[in-house]
Amino acid sequence: MNDLLLMRALHVLGVVIWIGGVFMATTVILPAVRRGQLGDDKLAAFHVIEHRFVWIARAAVLVVGISGFYLIIRMQLWPRFGDGDFWWMHAMVSIWLLFVFVLFVGEPLLLRRHFPRLAAYDPDLAFAILHWVHLFLLALSLVTVLGAAAGAHGWRFLTH
């Protein structure tokens, strides 16, 4: 297996784990937590799941970033960032940067420190906000994945 095949495979695997986890958290876990189906202590239920997955998500995001950067350099793809037909490359980088911020800055500094206070004060509001943020991130992620998959196989949005 050559280096490009390995990096592409790692890139796709990382995206599947990362965005798949966002999908699962958004469509299954957070609704169950909000309804109290995982116990009366919503914060404890959320923390058990989030604590286990955050490290997996961080690792997957790092794999995606490293493999993506490698592919851009190795395949000399920098000119694509100047072509509107490759909007999905900008979207991939933007989503990646957003999640790097969320996972490495937002989660430890905001979610871990401030969310428990809001959840203690008004758990319904706290988990509604958390769920809506996840829905927003998921929507952006799915548009990006769809655009990247179609664009990588030749679909051009602006010229066709």
The conformational region for residue 156 under phi > 0 = left, psi -120 to 50 = alpha, else beta, is beta
- pLDDT tens digits for range 110-143: 888 889 999 999 999 999 999 999 999 999 999 9
What contacts 141, CB < 8 A, 6 or more positions away?
19, 22, 95
Sign of CA dihedral 134, 135, 137, 141: positive
Question: Tokens at residue 58, please?
Answer: 């961080």
Which letter, b or e, does each residue of 25-37 get, where b requires 16 or more Cβ atoms within 10 Å of its Cβ? bbeebbebbbeee
Question: Tokens at residue 122, please?
Answer: 């008004």
Contact predicate 33/46, CB 8 Å: yes
- pLDDT tens digits for range 51-83: 889 999 999 999 999 999 999 999 999 999 998
Q: Which of these, 68, 72, 84, lies nearest to 151 by C-alpha position?
A: 84
pLDDT at residue 1 above 90? no
pLDDT at residue 152 above 90? no
Q: d(Cα 55, Cα 76) in Å, to the nearest integer?
A: 31
Contact predicate 101/150, CB 8 Å: no
What contacts 51, CB < 8 A, 6 or more positions away?
none
pLDDT at residue 160 above 80? no
- pLDDT tens digits for range 24-42: 999 999 999 999 999 999 9
